[in-house]
Amino acid sequence: KAGVTQTPRYLIKTRGQQVTLSCSPISGHRSVSWYQQTPGQGLQFLFEYFSETQRNKGNFPGRFSGRQFSNSRSEMNVSTLELGDSALYLCASGAQYSNEQFFGPGTRLTVL
Amino acid sequence: AQRVTQPEKLLSVFKGAPVELKCNYSYSGSPELFWYVQYSRQRLQLLLRHISRESIKGFTADLNKGETSFHLKKPFAQEEDSAMYYCALSGSGNTPLVFGKGTRLSVIA
């Protein structure tokens, strides 16, 4: 079974721009979660989607948004980028009735 | 509210020495606890979960509800154990995983 894939792997943007990150879950997984990973804060939960609906949301500003498509693929969007948004963004998928998360390799976002 | 605390940012041990990575949690219900590991240049992956009660790569972890802890232990550290370790908690229902800030384990030859 193919693992979770994320594109692109690296991104460089400037302040004020917006960015869209993509995640393809493991086949059959309907839950997709997004996390922000930084050296100082570790992994912080952004949001989770299940069957195209946002099921949970973390404490991030409204500039961070996401969506999920009918094939379970998910996108995350960050608008009006700030320097502090520089981080590794991880996507994870999970099977129904399981709390185990399978992680993708991440997208490294650098905001200049 | 759910909270996971890993008090050590960095833990250095010599090869062959015992290892204990500490994890304490705060949750009012019955949690499900996990340890995830991230080796250099690899993705985050599940190491073990308390409900399976397995030993993976020589690591074990016991859930102590009285002390609200889920410490990760290994009797003899190996160089290949050097990695970032995250403790995580999942509450009841469809609540998201909450991670601790991680402990970097460095095993010195």
B94 vs A24, residue with greater confidence:
A24
Q: Mean pLDDT, to the nearest integer, of A32-47? A: 93
A56 touches chain B (CB under 8 A): yes
Contacts of B30 (CB under 8 A, 6+ apart): B92
CA distance A79 to A61: 10
Of B32, B45, B99, the CB nearest to A43: B99
Q: Mean pLDDT, to the nearest integer, of A3-29? A: 97
pLDDT, one tens digit per residue, over A47-94 is 999 999 999 999 999 999 999 999 999 999 999 999 999 999 999 999
pLDDT, one tens digit per residue, over B40-83 is 999 999 999 988 778 889 999 989 989 999 999 999 999 999 99
Region label for A62, one of left (φ > 0), alpha (ψ between -120 and 50) or beta (otherwise)? alpha
Beta strand residue intervals within chain A, DSSP E: 5-7, 10-13, 19-24, 31-38, 42-50, 53-57, 64-68, 74-78, 87-94, 102-103, 107-111
Of B32, B45, B96, the CB nearest to A56: B96
A48 touches chain B (CB under 8 A): yes
CA distance B9 to B21: 10
B49 vs A34, residue with greater confidence:
A34
Average pLDDT of every residue of chain B? 93
- pLDDT-derived band of residue A2, with 50, 70 and 90 as boundaries? confident
Inter-chain CB proximity A41 and B101 less than 8 Å: yes
Instruction: Name the β-bridge partners of B106.
Output: B12
CA distance A103 to chain B (A): 6
